[in-house]
């Protein structure tokens, strides 16, 4: 007979491995710690038309997290073009451009998921994503333009963004499955896979193109003028964004 402790650890391990697996690869009844969303017959709390009833804490967590990532994705559609503009290599610029197109699709997919839940698409400010994009701005300010070091910095900042998205979508896929929203889980899973691919692509660019070249670059003393130019441009862009 397994002890309670053993049973718990097996369930925890299973939940961990399922967190990023395809929605088709497991049934929604396998996740742990989320039984409060199920009725006595084991069914999730979604209504007959497939939307959420909105009457459990877990549903609220799910929809609040959707609002958070919806804000984050919309914010990224403005932040990625800035990163692209400041990048040095064509390879990084085209990778960012490709992911910008995907990010626009991620916004549409989230609107689809809100609809599947019977909710109006709504954005709630994501402090984490705002912080990550501010960090990207600082890296750009602190590195010289047209250097591989700047690209290495942009890749690092962009990968932090991707990792935040991977963590969020991984959890959302699992929550959707737990709530019986398997169609929503499928849609969220498509985005999760694209975030992972974007992250891998950035790793490739860093490994094969950017990092090694950046080791050849030396710091320069007379970088102030260039920095000021960048700063002025960024302040202008920020002002424009705030007005919106």
Choose the stretch contacting Fe ion; rule: CB under 5 A; options: 21-29, 79-87, 104-112, 121-129: 104-112
Per CB under 5 A, the segment of 25-33, 101-109, 146-154, 232-240 that binds Fe ion is 101-109
Any contact of residue 199 with Fe ion (CB under 5 A)?
Answer: no
Q: Is 218 exposed, middle or buried (0-12, 13-18, 19+ CB in 10 A)?
A: exposed
Choose among 33, 25, 68: nearest CA to 164.
68
Using CB under 5 A as the binding rule, whether residue 106 contacts Fe ion is answered as yes
Instruction: Select 165 or 230, whichever has its Cβ closest to Fe ion.
Output: 165
Residue number with CB closer to Fe ion (14 or 163)? 163
User: Which 155-174 positions form the footprint of Fe ion (CB under 5 A)?
Assistant: 165
Instruction: Report the alpha-carbon distance of residue 123 to residue 115 in Å, rounded.
Output: 14
Q: Answer for the pair 56, 49: CB distance below 8 angstroms, yes or no.
A: no
Largest CA distance in the chain: 72
Sequence-separated (6 or more) residues with CB below 8 Å from residue 181: 44, 46, 50, 52, 116, 117
Q: Give the Cα separation of 180 and 49 in Å (integer).
A: 12
Q: What is the CA radius of gyration of the chain?
A: 21
What is the nearest approach in angstroms of Fe ion to the Cβ of residue 109?
A: 9
151 is an interface residue for Fe ion by CB under 5 A = no
Q: Which is nearer to Fe ion, 172 or 214 (CB)?
A: 172
Q: Which of 195, 201, 205, 230 touches Fe ion (CB under 5 A)?
A: 195
**Two structure tokens written together for 181:** 């929203």
Site for Fe ion in 47-86 (CB under 5 A): none
Which is closer to Fe ion, CB of 184 or CB of 214?
A: 184
Report whether 104 contacts 91 (CB < 8 A): no
Measure the CA–CA gap between 120 and 138, rounded to whole angstroms. Answer: 35
Nearest distance from C-beta of residue 231 to Fe ion, angstroms: 27
Binding-site size, Fe ion (CB under 5 A): 4
Of the pair 58, 76, the CB lying nearest Fe ion is at 76
Nearest residue to Fe ion, scored by beta-carbon proximity: 106
Closer residue to Fe ion, CB minimum distance, 23 or 180 = 23
Task: Enumerate binding residues for Fe ion (CB under 5 A).
Answer: 103, 106, 165, 195
């Amino acid at each position: 007979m397994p002890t309670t402790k053993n049973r718990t650890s097996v369930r925890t391990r299973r939940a961990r491995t399922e967190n990023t697996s395809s929605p088709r690869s497991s049934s929604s009844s396998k996740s742990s710690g989320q039984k409060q969303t199920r009725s006595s017959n084991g069914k999730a709390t979604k209504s007959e038309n497939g939307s959420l009833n909105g009457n459990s804490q877990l549903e609220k967590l799910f929809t609040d997290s959707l609002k958070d990532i919806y804000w984050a994705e919309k914010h990224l559609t403005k932040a990625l073009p800035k990163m692209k503009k400041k990048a040095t290599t064509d390879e990084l610029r085209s990778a960012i451009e490709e992911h910008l197109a995907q990010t626009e699709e991620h916004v549409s997919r989230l609107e689809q998921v809100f609809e599947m839940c019977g909710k109006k698409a709504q954005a709630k400010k994501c402090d984490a994503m705002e912080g990550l994009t501010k960090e990207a701005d600082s890296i750009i300010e602190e590195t010289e333009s047209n250097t591989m070091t700047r690209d290495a910095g942009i890749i690092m900042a962009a990968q932090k963004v991707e990792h935040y998205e991977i963590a969020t979508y991984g959890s959302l896929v699992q929550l959707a499955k737990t709530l019986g929203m398997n169609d929503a889980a499928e849609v969220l899973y498509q985005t999760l896979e694209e975030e992972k691919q974007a992250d891998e692509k950035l790793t490739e660019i860093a490994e094969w193109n950017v990092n090694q070249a950046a080791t050849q670059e030396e710091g320069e003393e007379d970088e102030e003028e260039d920095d000021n130019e960048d700063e002025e441009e960024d302040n202008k862009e920020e002002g424009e964004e705030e007005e919106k």
